[in-house]
Chain A
Amino acid sequence: MYSFFNMNFIIPDILLLLFPFIVIGSRLFCNYRSQLPWRIANFGFIAIFILLNFIPLASGEGRFFICNWKIDDFGVLMREVLIVSAILGIWLSKDYFEHGADGKPQMHQIAEFIGAIAFATFGGVTVVSACDLLTFFLGLEIATIPMYALTAWNKKDQLGSEAATKYILMGSVATAFELFGFSYLYGFAGSLHFGEIQQAIATGTSPLLWVAVLFLFCGIGFKLTLFPFYTWAPDVYEGAPTPVTAVLSVTSKATAIAFLVVLVFGPLAPVQEQIAPLIALLAGTTLFVGNLGALKQSRLRRFMAYSSIAQAGYIMVALLGPASTAKTAIVYYLFVYAVSNYLAFFIFGIIGHHREETFASLRGLSKQNPSLAVALAISMFSLAGIPPLAGFFGKFHLFFSGASTGHYALVAFAVLNNVLALYYYIQLIKSAWVDEPDGHLSPLRLTRRQRGVIIALSISVVALGFLPFLSNNVFAGFSF
């Protein structure tokens, strides 16, 4: 409570909470083809992002708002990641409300769509600022439930609804696991507050705790698409509309990993060594399986699904490290991952607006539209972790954090898996650069927004990595 009267650091969260109501409410005052909600959304998100950047970092323990809304550096940076993802998401989705793509019909109700995305983002914010299990759980649910709706946004698209069905059924089961874990944790500690749980664990463990941990990891493993809980991801990613896939692959992953970070370095911190093997196994199996699945894909979004499964595995590696390193690594990687992923999805979107989203429709891209092909290569190489692109430095952070506690074997395994990853990313680059175009591919047209975003993202992917003032800025003074 020491800072009850300067609450300015809470303003962005409150804005974010009110924001979806404003956007959806704005629908009442304009007709359905008006650009108003879209404008408000852009303005709002960007404003929130700017406000977030005013929050001073390096404030030690972090600050509290009525005692269980904690805002620390990690939280702020995760907020930034989530907002960036949301902004890019709505920019990506805009075109899908003007005409359909990839054989899916055009989408409607942009205001509600944006609202849903905003809710999901707020859910993520809630997760990173939770101090007790209840808030934690609520945040997770707020982040997840809109995703179900977003997946099924295309009412006329039966793939979408099928994907949504699979998603929500499995999601609810995962929630049940989650709750089970929470309940045992509560039973073990006798309290919902992280601090007390941590003390309880520090004093001593019991099977009850381990059952709780098991269920918690399995439940979150679903959201983070860890092995073997990833099975929903390829289908949902393919069935959902492309912008939703993008948001899924970034926002919900960011939320999930934030959940794990808060859990592992918060209440479970005393037993990090004991659960390290589990984390290592999860990481190893996940990235291996993800890479294997992506090997022979022909449809772009399914391909991205597997690749993001593998990325989740890579992120897990960082959880083995000490708190500060791991958080730095994860936040930085999420930034990089968001940028590269959205770059890829923007390109796929442009492809999808004129053709179906398969490898085959990338053929001859380097001849028709060299700059687009270059951007594609950049994003793919960045996802594959090839220097000097940002993706490499992100992965380097992750492995650095993993290796700092001596898990060389896992790191070596992950690094070797990079070769597999490089293989399938190169497959995609091949179809864009090497394969000859077959005549009946409709030409590509880029709107100004698309071109601008793609250029900006490409530049940031190239520059974010090795330019120290970009990668050091916020993380330099990282002190937990």
Chain B
Amino acid sequence: MINDVTLGYLIFLCPLLTFVINGLFVGNRNAKAAAAIAVTLNGVSALSAILVAVHYFCSTFAPQKAVLFEFTFLPFVDDLVARIGMLVDPLSVMMLVVVTFISLMVNIYSIGYMREDRAEGRFFALLSLFSFSMLGLVVATNLFQMFIFWELVGVSSYLLIGFWYHKPSAVSASKQAFILTRFADSFFLLGIVLVSYVVGSFDFSTINSLSLYPFRAETIDLGICVMSKANALVLGSILIFTGGWGKSAMFPMHIWLPNAMEGPTPVSSIIHSATMVVAGVYLVARLFPFFAVCSDSLTIIMWVGAFTMVFAAVIACTQKDIKRILAYSTLSQLGYMMFALGACKIGQAVITTGWTASTFHIFTHAFFKCSLFLIAGSLIHQVHTNDLDAMGGLRKKMPVTYVCSLISILAISGIPPFSGFFSKDEIILAAFQGHHYVVFALALLTSGLTTFYMFRLFFLAFHGEPRHEGVKAGHVHEDLAMTLPIAVLAIPALLSGLLGKGLFEKFFTPGKLHAPVFVKLPEASWIPFAAVGIAVLALAIAWFLYASPKAKVQRALDAENRSGLYKVVYNKFYFDEMYYAVVRQFIIGGVARVSRAFNDYVVEGLLAFSVWFIHKLGDLVRTAQAGYLPFYLGTLIVGVLIWRFFGQLPL
């Protein structure tokens, strides 16, 4: 019998099964079988996810939180129990659909993309592990489960980014990604420990429904300082957000994401669209009532998001590596989602439009970003380089790809009626309604920038003269397995906004808030037009610079003789170098060296000294044994005197 619970199990178990079968048995022997298994099982899980979603949203009773299944994992003290369960509410159902669908697409795509690779089986296994862990994260019913799968997401991304482990760049990139996110996760864990200690439970239901008043009186000793439990909760919320901060690659922990390009392109696409980076946003969305209660942290969230949004967009304008451009665009879009969540705060009150907008943007962004990466992948597959220098003039050679990429780029630039328009528009609206005018301006600016760099990429890649011998010679063709997912993804990229809008506005609320809700919202019907206008303007500039008949493409692609400012931006504000300096020089060269020196010289030195001292005493004893009889006789006499005076006899 097929009911929601079995479907829920299916959604989980299919990817896990794929991982186990491919990883342990099939993987190395038969790549084709591995691919087949992966696609079929992921298809099943995607299908069941869609079924669940349909059944959930079409069910007669109003959509609400439901726990499909839940069992105890590890009990701690009385109420503090770690459980593994499956939580179903609009947000998680939406994410289930997105994750399973995207991973199905990517799996299909990988059949074509990884055809030449000798470790195809391992690739499919890890890909399924990746989606499995993301699914577990999405349906988590409590912080502990979320952290478990959170870590699994991190490690599987590590394995996938470093998939070509013979490439030093890939290895170091994967290490960087894992360690940076791990660094953030350590704060996340600390936050979990702190919050669970104060609240006494991991469950979202408990944490999301508490209010700070009972905690104001009691204090807690955090070692460094003593603070009231209410403040401790605020601190905890910030710590928990730090986890999402690193996972979603918000500034300044953003550098791992562009470097993660070293992995195979399908990996980048799934990381950027569905599985990894949105986890951070999802975390904040999932715990939104809690953050709303600890409302100070929302401000931080907003500013972090907003800054990353602009920062990444600026960098994206100058890059030449198409995957890097896409990566920075992802950063910028994540910034949108993040600050939308933060922007819900108005003074002490909290509105939920931003939350809806943010989740909506997660939804739409997944599709077009995934398809963009797949497109980039197929381009790279043709010209064997990431560099825009080598592209251009591909429009004729790859018509389907061309059309799909146009759709996705229009979507991301927020041109109606493509999907991106709706979600981004809602976000900007939320910023405006939240009276955060600076952020609002930044958002408008960034939407222009987005349009600019996306079309820069578009024009440089598809228009103009071919700059690559292969392309010139016409060795370029479209691979079915790679083009099919692109085409399929173009549909939601086009329509998801249009169709989803109503759904999201109907169902999507973060749940009951314990913060005062702001009722009267300013009317702003002009915002969409403003946004679209800016986008069109930016499009025009891009066309003028890169596609118009008198555009100087060579000049555009030349990174050398430029202004200093351009160079700084082109080198990503030298952030990689700064990180390198800090880690190498300060951590490894400084702290680690000092601590090792302490161990080797102080501790071992004391040991060596005591040994030396004992040996000296031994030498003393043996020098007394000079074989000199009068001395020996003397010791007899002296001995009597010694014990006479020190023998403590009552003489």
* Complex contact flag A–B (Cβ < 8 Å): yes
A residues contacting B by CB (< 8 A) are 165-166, 169-170, 173-174, 177, 205, 207, 210-211, 213-215, 217-218, 221-222, 227-229, 231-232, 234-235, 274-275, 277-278, 281-282, 289, 292-293, 295-296, 420
CA distance A30 to B632 in the complex (A): 44
CA distance A210 to B651 in the complex (A): 6
**B524: CB under 8 A from chain A?**
no
Given contacts A218-B636, A277-B648, 12 further A-B contacts (CB under 8 A): A169-B629, A173-B633, A174-B636, A207-B651, A213-B649, A215-B640, A231-B631, A231-B632, A232-B632, A281-B646, A292-B618, A293-B618
B647 in contact with A231 (CB, 8 Å):
no
B625 in contact with A205 (CB, 8 Å):
no
The residues of B that contact A274 with a CB separation of less than 8 Å are 649-650
CA distance A215 to B650 in the complex (A): 14
The residues of B that contact A275 with a CB separation of less than 8 Å are 649
Residue from B632, B644, B647, B649 in contact with A166 in the complex, judged by beta carbons closer than 8 Å = B632
Return A320 CB to nearest CB of chain B, in Å.
Answer: 14
A229 in contact with B615 (CB, 8 Å):
no
Return B416 CB to nearest CB of chain A, in Å.
Answer: 83
Return B617 CB to nearest CB of chain A, in Å.
Answer: 5
**B643: CB under 8 A from chain A?**
yes
**B621: CB under 8 A from chain A?**
yes
The residues of A that contact B614 with a CB separation of less than 8 Å are 292, 295, 420
Main secondary structure on B side of the interface with A? helix
Q: Which residue of chain A lies nearest to B640 when distances are taken between CB atoms in the complex?
A: A218
Chain B 623-634 interface mask (CB, 8 Å, partner A; 1/0)? 011010101110
CA distance A210 to B615 in the complex (A): 37
CA distance A174 to B633 in the complex (A): 10
**B638: CB under 8 A from chain A?**
yes
Q: Which residue of chain B lies nearest to A305 when distances are taken between CB atoms in the complex?
A: B625
The residues of A that contact B636 with a CB separation of less than 8 Å are 170, 173-174, 177, 218, 222, 229
Return A94 CB to nearest CB of chain B, in Å.
Answer: 31
Return A428 CB to nearest CB of chain B, in Å.
Answer: 15
The residues of B that contact A277 with a CB separation of less than 8 Å are 647-648
B647 in contact with A278 (CB, 8 Å):
yes
Q: A289-B621, A296-B622 are in contact. Are A211 and B640 (CB under 8 A)?
A: no
Return A288 CB to nearest CB of chain B, in Å.
Answer: 9
**B206: CB under 8 A from chain A?**
no
Return B197 CB to nearest CB of chain A, in Å.
Answer: 41
CA distance A67 to B621 in the complex (A): 46
Return B637 CB to nearest CB of chain A, in Å.
Answer: 8
Q: A218-B639, A296-B619 are in contact. Are A231 and B650 (CB under 8 A)?
A: no
Residue from B617, B633, B642 in contact with A292 in the complex, judged by beta carbons closer than 8 Å = B617
Give me 29 A-to-B residue pairs in the complex whose CB atoms sit less than 8 angstroms apart, sorted by A's number: A165-B629, A166-B629, A169-B633, A170-B636, A177-B636, A210-B650, A210-B651, A211-B651, A214-B644, A214-B651, A215-B640, A218-B636, A218-B639, A221-B639, A228-B638, A228-B642, A229-B636, A231-B624, A231-B632, A232-B632, A274-B650, A278-B648, A278-B649, A281-B643, A281-B647, A292-B621, A293-B622, A296-B618, A420-B614
Q: Which residue of chain B lies nearest to A226 when distances are taken between CB atoms in the complex?
A: B639
CA distance A169 to B635 in the complex (A): 13
B621 in contact with A235 (CB, 8 Å):
no
Q: Which residue of chain A lies nearest to B624 when distances are taken between CB atoms in the complex?
A: A231
Q: Which residue of chain B lies nearest to A271 when distances are taken between CB atoms in the complex?
A: B650
Q: Which residue of chain A lies nearest to B627 when distances are taken between CB atoms in the complex?
A: A235
Return A275 CB to nearest CB of chain B, in Å.
Answer: 7
The residues of B that contact A205 with a CB separation of less than 8 Å are 650
The residues of B that contact A210 with a CB separation of less than 8 Å are 649-651
The residues of B that contact A296 with a CB separation of less than 8 Å are 615, 618-619, 622
A229 in contact with B619 (CB, 8 Å):
no
A170 in contact with B632 (CB, 8 Å):
yes
CA distance A296 to B642 in the complex (A): 27
The residues of A that contact B617 with a CB separation of less than 8 Å are 292
Return A311 CB to nearest CB of chain B, in Å.
Answer: 16
The residues of B that contact A211 with a CB separation of less than 8 Å are 651
Return A63 CB to nearest CB of chain B, in Å.
Answer: 35
CA distance A370 to B620 in the complex (A): 36
CA distance A235 to B629 in the complex (A): 10
A218 in contact with B643 (CB, 8 Å):
yes
CA distance A275 to B649 in the complex (A): 6
B633 in contact with A235 (CB, 8 Å):
no
Residue from B618, B640, B644, B648 in contact with A177 in the complex, judged by beta carbons closer than 8 Å = B640
CA distance A441 to B633 in the complex (A): 39
Return A27 CB to nearest CB of chain B, in Å.
Answer: 35
CA distance A205 to B651 in the complex (A): 10
Residue from A169, A214, A293 in contact with B640 in the complex, judged by beta carbons closer than 8 Å = A214
CA distance A214 to B625 in the complex (A): 25
CA distance A277 to B622 in the complex (A): 27
The residues of B that contact A295 with a CB separation of less than 8 Å are 614-615, 618
CA distance A281 to B617 in the complex (A): 18
Chain B 307-336 interface mask (CB, 8 Å, partner A; 1/0)? 000000000000000000000000000000
Return A298 CB to nearest CB of chain B, in Å.
Answer: 11
CA distance A406 to B624 in the complex (A): 34
Residue from B615, B622, B639, B648 in contact with A228 in the complex, judged by beta carbons closer than 8 Å = B639
The residues of B that contact A177 with a CB separation of less than 8 Å are 636, 640
CA distance A169 to B633 in the complex (A): 8
Return B316 CB to nearest CB of chain A, in Å.
Answer: 66
Return B593 CB to nearest CB of chain A, in Å.
Answer: 33
Q: A232-B632, A292-B614, A292-B621 are in contact. Are A278 and B651 (CB under 8 A)?
A: no
The residues of B that contact A213 with a CB separation of less than 8 Å are 649
Q: Which residue of chain B lies nearest to A232 when distances are taken between CB atoms in the complex?
A: B632
Q: Which residue of chain A lies nearest to B648 when distances are taken between CB atoms in the complex?
A: A277
B639 in contact with A214 (CB, 8 Å):
no
The residues of A that contact B649 with a CB separation of less than 8 Å are 210, 213-214, 274-275, 278
Residue from B620, B638, B647 in contact with A214 in the complex, judged by beta carbons closer than 8 Å = B647
The residues of A that contact B648 with a CB separation of less than 8 Å are 277-278, 281
Q: A278-B649, A295-B615, A420-B614 are in contact. Are A214 and B632 (CB under 8 A)?
A: no
Q: Which residue of chain A lies nearest to B629 when distances are taken between CB atoms in the complex?
A: A166
CA distance A174 to B639 in the complex (A): 11
The residues of A that contact B639 with a CB separation of less than 8 Å are 218, 221, 227-229
Return B369 CB to nearest CB of chain A, in Å.
Answer: 65
Return B104 CB to nearest CB of chain A, in Å.
Answer: 64
Question: Closest 4 interchain pairs by CB?
Answer: A295-B618, A277-B648, A293-B621, A278-B647
The residues of B that contact A170 with a CB separation of less than 8 Å are 629, 632-633, 636
The residues of A that contact B625 with a CB separation of less than 8 Å are 231, 234-235, 293
The residues of A that contact B620 with a CB separation of less than 8 Å are 292
Q: Which residue of chain B lies nearest to A211 when distances are taken between CB atoms in the complex?
A: B651
CA distance A425 to B625 in the complex (A): 21
Q: Which residue of chain A lies nearest to B615 when distances are taken between CB atoms in the complex?
A: A295
Return A296 CB to nearest CB of chain B, in Å.
Answer: 6
B633 in contact with A214 (CB, 8 Å):
no
For residues 582 through 637 of chain B, which have their beta carbon under 8 Å from a beta carbon of chain A? Answer: 614-615, 617-622, 624-625, 627, 629, 631-633, 635-636
CA distance A211 to B646 in the complex (A): 14
Return A427 CB to nearest CB of chain B, in Å.
Answer: 12
The residues of A that contact B622 with a CB separation of less than 8 Å are 293, 296
Return B544 CB to nearest CB of chain A, in Å.
Answer: 82
The residues of B that contact A214 with a CB separation of less than 8 Å are 640, 643-644, 647, 649, 651
The residues of B that contact A174 with a CB separation of less than 8 Å are 636
The residues of B that contact A293 with a CB separation of less than 8 Å are 618, 621-622, 625
The residues of A that contact B635 with a CB separation of less than 8 Å are 228-229, 231
The residues of A that contact B632 with a CB separation of less than 8 Å are 166, 170, 231-232
For residues 387 through 411 of chain B, which have their beta carbon under 8 Å from a beta carbon of chain A? Answer: none
Residue from B615, B619, B643 in contact with A278 in the complex, judged by beta carbons closer than 8 Å = B643
CA distance A293 to B614 in the complex (A): 10
The residues of B that contact A221 with a CB separation of less than 8 Å are 639
Q: Which residue of chain B lies nearest to A293 when distances are taken between CB atoms in the complex?
A: B621
Return A420 CB to nearest CB of chain B, in Å.
Answer: 7
CA distance A177 to B647 in the complex (A): 16
CA distance A296 to B648 in the complex (A): 33
The residues of B that contact A229 with a CB separation of less than 8 Å are 635-636, 639
